[in-house]
Amino acid sequence: MTLKDTAKSLPYPLKQGLKYVYGVIPLHIHYGKVFRETYAFLQKSQWWTREQLEEYQLEQLSQLLHHAYGNVPYYRRVFDERGLKPKDIQDFTDLQMLPYLTKEIIQNNLPDLVAKNYRQSKLQYATTGGSTGIPLGLYREKGISDAKEWAFMTTQWNRVGYQFGAKCIVLRGKVVESASKGKFWEYDPVNKDLILSAYHLTEENMPKYIQKIRDFKPDFIRAYPSTITIMARFMKENDIVPFPCVKALLCGSENLYPLQRELLEAIFQCRVYSWYGHGERAVLAGECEHSNFYHIFPEYGLVELIGENGKSVTKEEAMGEIVATGLNNYVFPFIRYKTMDLGIHTSKKCECGREYPLLKRVEGRMQELIVAKDKRLITLTALIFAQHFKAHSKIKEMQLVQEEVGRVLVRIVKTNEYSVKDEQEIRQKMQKNVDNQLDITFDYVDEIPRTARGKYRFLIQKLPIELGDTE
């Protein structure tokens, strides 16, 4: 048992004590060799030419496929059934001979997706939220996956000034054990983070949160967009000045909507940096110092964007499902994994000079599309976010619910200024955007419930959504 394992099994106060011991070890040593090597590699590879990146990906892909064929029963079967060998896949087009890996396949084949050449002790079980609300189980490599992930994360945050060991406020889904006793934060001495409870952001508690942030003087705030938006609204309503020490807000794990970005940048007076990734760790893409395009890390995963006809999307601004092959998980390989997330293609180049493939936007999950009366699928951008509503400033929170084709329920937490006119405006603008192919009803509530992981969902889509025949 390592010191770290021992620490995990200790009762809480002792755990905290050991954490402080850890805290004096320089961070790059704490995170270990894998972290340092990955980080150093990314510092160079991000400036490679497109050819270098593609060559690297093909090499990594070939290695992954040979490994999967040799050690992972599910993939052995997939190759054998098609009469294929790993050497038959020489380029990205050949890869399409392999079938998609769906969430359903994972749920039904869990043991067969684990590589047999890894000892049980090397496996780390994890679950991810998943748009259906059913958690998806998977395995990562103990001690390796997290170190690599952290190297990728810090590399992308470097683009907005993040340096190793920077002081962060963390306002995400983590439950703070002392919050029930009125202490809404806990210090993590290893990462030098102050973790705030995202579940106690009431009007009454907010001044305490804000004072704590001021005293802590963080360099960055890492948050779910929805939680930091609650704080921004409170600061706006109460004319609270921002925190000058904060260089950027680092927002991931939920879609960042344009209106949220606008509000956050105005209130916090700093850059909002957004990225897209998921617990399956097959794709990671983030903004850069120059633009809001999502730069896909080619060293992390190989991404295909698949359109309605099942073909790769190549048209500028066309939408497709993100299908990803993760290059770093050998314990539980994700090959051509259907993420059920939607991205908007662009073949533009970014001014930053990185030759990474780009997504113009990430539209969120397929379950975040609305179905109109004529069965047309509508993105939330088209329905709401691409235009300005006067009513928005009078709404605390909003959520859409669809249970029937052509019909949407709008849940709203109002402010005191909200009136009937605002309801009319929302209805008219939304209906105009979909040529009146949508019936809209309103429900006024006191709060919008969060998911089990503390995330906010803008749309609860109860209809099954299929982008088309993509099998």
Nearer to Zn ion, 201 or 288 (CB): 288
| Least separation in angstroms between CB 290 and Zn ion | 5
288 binds Zn ion (CB under 5 A): yes
Nearer to Zn ion, 160 or 395 (CB): 160
Number of neighbours of residue 117 by Cβ within 10 angstroms: 11
| Least separation in angstroms between CB 287 and Zn ion | 8
Nearer to Zn ion, 284 or 331 (CB): 284
Nearer to Zn ion, 75 or 273 (CB): 273
From 9-17, 32-40, 321-329, 348-356, give the range in contact with Zn ion by CB under 5 A.
348-356
| Least separation in angstroms between CB 220 and Zn ion | 19
Torsion-angle region of 317 (φ positive above 0: left; ψ -120 to 50: alpha; else: beta) = left
| Least separation in angstroms between CB 293 and Zn ion | 6
Nearer to Zn ion, 232 or 288 (CB): 288
From 236-244, 270-278, 351-359, 396-404, give the range in contact with Zn ion by CB under 5 A.
351-359
User: Which of 350, 369, 383, 430 forms a contact with Zn ion (CB under 5 A)?
Assistant: 350
From 8-16, 187-195, 264-272, 352-360, give the range in contact with Zn ion by CB under 5 A.
352-360
| Least separation in angstroms between CB 164 and Zn ion | 21
68 binds Zn ion (CB under 5 A): no
352 binds Zn ion (CB under 5 A): yes
Nearer to Zn ion, 252 or 333 (CB): 252
From 199-207, 227-235, 283-291, 457-465, give the range in contact with Zn ion by CB under 5 A.
283-291
- For residues 154-173, which are near Zn ion according to CB under 5 A? none
Tell me, residue by residue from 232 to 271, as one string, x for binding to Zn ion by CB under 5 A and - for no binding.
----------------------------------------
Nearer to Zn ion, 98 or 350 (CB): 350
**Size, binding site for Zn ion by CB under 5 A:** 4
Which H, E and C letters describe the chain, residue by residue? CCHHHHHHHCCHHHHHHHHHHHHCCCHHHHHHHHHHHHHHHHHHHCCCCHHHHHHHHHHHHHHHHHHHHHHCHHHHHHHHHCCCCHHHCCCCCHHHHCCCECHHHHHHCHHHHCCCCCCHHHEEEEEECCCCCCCEEEEEECCCHHHHHHHHHHHHHHCCCCCCCCCEEEECCCCCHHHHHCCCEEEECCCCEEEECCCCCCCCCHHHHHHHHHHHCCCEEEECHHHHHHHHHHHHHCCCCCCCCCCEEEECCCCCCHHHHHHHHHHHCCEEEEEEECCCCCCEEECCCCCCCEEECCCCEEEEEECCCCCECCCCCCEEEEEEEECCCCCCCCCCEEEEEEEEEECCCCCCCCCCCEEEEEEEEHHHCEECCCCCEECHHHHHHCCCCHHHHHEEEEEEEEEECCEEEEEEEECCCCCHHHHHHHHHHHHHHCCCCCEEEEEECCCCCCCCCCCCCCEEECCCCCCCCCC
| Least separation in angstroms between CB 273 and Zn ion | 12
Nearer to Zn ion, 72 or 272 (CB): 272
Nearer to Zn ion, 155 or 329 (CB): 155
| Least separation in angstroms between CB 404 and Zn ion | 42
Return the structure tokens found at 444: 């006024």
| Least separation in angstroms between CB 66 and Zn ion | 33
| Least separation in angstroms between CB 254 and Zn ion | 22
Q: Which residues bind Zn ion (CB under 5 A)?
A: 288, 290, 350, 352
